[in-house]
Amino acid sequence: MTTDRIRIFDTTLRDGEQSPGCSLRPAQKLVMARALADLGVDVIETGFPASSVSDMEATAMISAEIRDVRLCALSRCTPGDVEAAAKALEHARKPRIHVFISTSPLHREHKLGLSREQVLERAVEGVRLAKRYVDDVEFSAEDALRTEEDFLVEIFGAAIAAGARTINVPDTVGYTTPEEIRGLFQRLIAHTPGADQAIFSAHCHDDLGLAVANSLAAIEGGARQVECTINGIGERAGNAALEELVMALRVRGAHYGATTGIDSRALLQASRLLSRLTGMSVQRNKAVVGANAFAHEAGIHQHGMLRNRNTYEIMRPEDVGWPASQMVLGRHSGRHAVSDRLRALGLPLEDFEFEQLFSRFKKLCDHQRLVRDADLQTLVMGDAAVEGRGYRLSALSVSDSGKRARAHVELSDPEGHLVTEIAEGDGPVAALFEAMTRATGVPMQLESYQVHSIGIGADARGEANLSVRCDGIEHAGLGTSRDIIEASALAWLDVANRVLRQRETASSSLAATA
């Protein structure tokens, strides 16, 4: 069986970036373009220069620096648009202009007010205009999956005759199904005049959650380019996720008879960079790059994983950039996982000791969602009251006058005494964390802070996630409450109490060995 090379056309900086909440400044696009180049994508679509000064500037900046990757700019089939794309790509070493026009009856009538013949004429004109500036022209028939098939054959044939060498078939509204798109590609490639002179490309949106499945089916039908975005960002429900497509082609390469040029080890890094730049986080259960993608909590799964990782993993976390699989200890974990973790921490226990420890572990899980290494260490050192120990929040108020915010916190310390502190800061959260630091005496360096809403309507609660550095170690803290400031205070205390317990454990083991 032959293995065909699939071109990965990344449109994170164009289709992805034009979606709500994902806009990037030109300098940020350049940073992301470097990561895409490191990943080994074949084409980077840098923007739609005629649509904004920012896209024009970003395309020019990327063109001046990224030399080895083909750079593409989007354009309608009009002289002004094509000129803007050509100007932005002026210094690119491998430029491509991507011209598009809507072809479906719905778009022809309600969006363009043009007949089939007029759309065809404009498409040909757009390709010819682009050809004046660059050799490499891509043509897209917007809303292709709701377009008459004979019209697609006609317009694609005309675009190829005018010089287009990539023919893109967008499922603009994520309407198609795998069977449908596979058949469509097979027929288009068989019947379009000059099809052998062009590469057929799939561009799938995720409105029905089928973007990746449809792109893979298009590959089965003969597509040799797929258009996709990191983390699947894009209009509405997004585009096909690059990391999912790439790993599907890698894990099931034999099935698809296809491969890509992507260095999959850089996938996680690219995903995280995009989240940081856009502020749009990736859901925990997202394939390949979500925090749970290689985390195992259920006892049976952990047992299987410890014997042979292939039992519950179809790819190695290291191959997509994760350090290793993660055995998450929590309510569903069994004896094997806990004893394995204890051994890894250098704390192997005799059977009878282990049973006692395991029942305390289960008790702790009633109060705590995740049990971390420090908690396990404390359990082993005989501190049965882990779940109850530490500072507790008694009262909290924050005021923000606009210039300076002020926080007043009241905590009860591990001995039950009340501790009160007041602090000011640039904003309510900064003031709160300063007051908490003073009250507990645990200084922390904040590395990241996120608040999400969990639940909906009247049941909605805020979940605060912190990542901080303290005593040279990175800790994560979690707090939930109806009030997001209180959730933040609880997340902060989650870390502070763990640090204090760790310090206590360290000093008692030092005393024991002295």
Distance CA(277)–CA(431), nearest Å, equals 26
In the complex, minimum distance from the CB of residue 216 to Zn ion, in angstroms, rounded to a whole number: 17
Contact string (CB under 6 A) for ligand KIV, positions 19-38, x = contact: --------------------
173 or 293: CB nearest ligand KIV: 173
Is 72 or 219 the residue whose CB approaches ligand KIV more closely? Answer: 72
Is residue 142 close enough to count as binding ligand KIV by CB under 6 A? yes
CA angle 164, 167, 170 (to 5 degrees): 140
CA distances (Å), 477 to each of 36, 223, 338, 384, in order?
Answer: 31, 46, 21, 21
Distance, CA of 283 to CA of 1 (rounded, Å):
37
The nearer residue to ligand KIV, 101 or 439, going by C-beta atoms, is 101
3-state secondary structure 98-126: EEEEECCHHHHHHHHCCCHHHHHHHHHHH
Select from 122-130, 164-172, 379-387, 495-503 the region that touches ligand KIV (CB under 6 A): 164-172
Which distant-in-sequence residues (6+ apart) come within 8 Å of 318 by Cβ? 265, 324
363 SS3 class: helix
- What, of ligand KIV, Zn ion, none, does residue 100 touch, CB below 5 to 8 Å by kind? ligand KIV
CB of 441 to Zn ion, least distance (A): 53
Q: Does residue 15 belong to the site contacting ligand KIV (CB under 6 A)?
A: yes
We find the least distance from the C-beta atom of residue 142 to Zn ion, in angstroms, to be 8
List 203, 303, 341, 360, residue binding ligand KIV (CB under 6 A): 203
> Which one, 227 or 494, has the nearer CB to ligand KIV?
227
Task: Give dist(CA 194, CA 357) in Å, integer.
Answer: 72
Position 214 contacts ligand KIV (CB under 6 A)? no
Closest CB to Zn ion belongs to which residue? 15
Bridging pattern class, strands 473-481 and 461-470: antiparallel
Q: How far is the CB of 173 from Zn ion (least distance, A)?
A: 9
Position among 46, 75, 103, 140 found at the interface with ligand KIV (CB under 6 A)? 140
Strands 392-400 and 326-327 turn out to be unpaired
The listed partner (ligand KIV, Zn ion, none) that binds 142, CB under 5 to 8 Å by sort, is ligand KIV
DSSP per-residue letters across 249-296:
HHHTHHHHTEE----GGGHHHHHHHHHHHH--PPPTT-TTTSTTTTEE
| Cβ 43 vs Cβ 260: under 8 Å | no
Give residues 69-128 in contact with ligand KIV (rule: CB under 6 A): 100
DSSP codes, 304-348: HHHH-GGGT-SS-GGGGT-SS-EE--STT--HHHHHHHHHHTT--
Q: Which is nearer to ligand KIV, 207 or 263 (CB)?
A: 207
Among 12, 28, 103, 172, binds ligand KIV (CB under 6 A): 172
Binding site for ligand KIV (CB under 6 A): 15, 100, 140, 142, 168, 170, 172, 203, 205
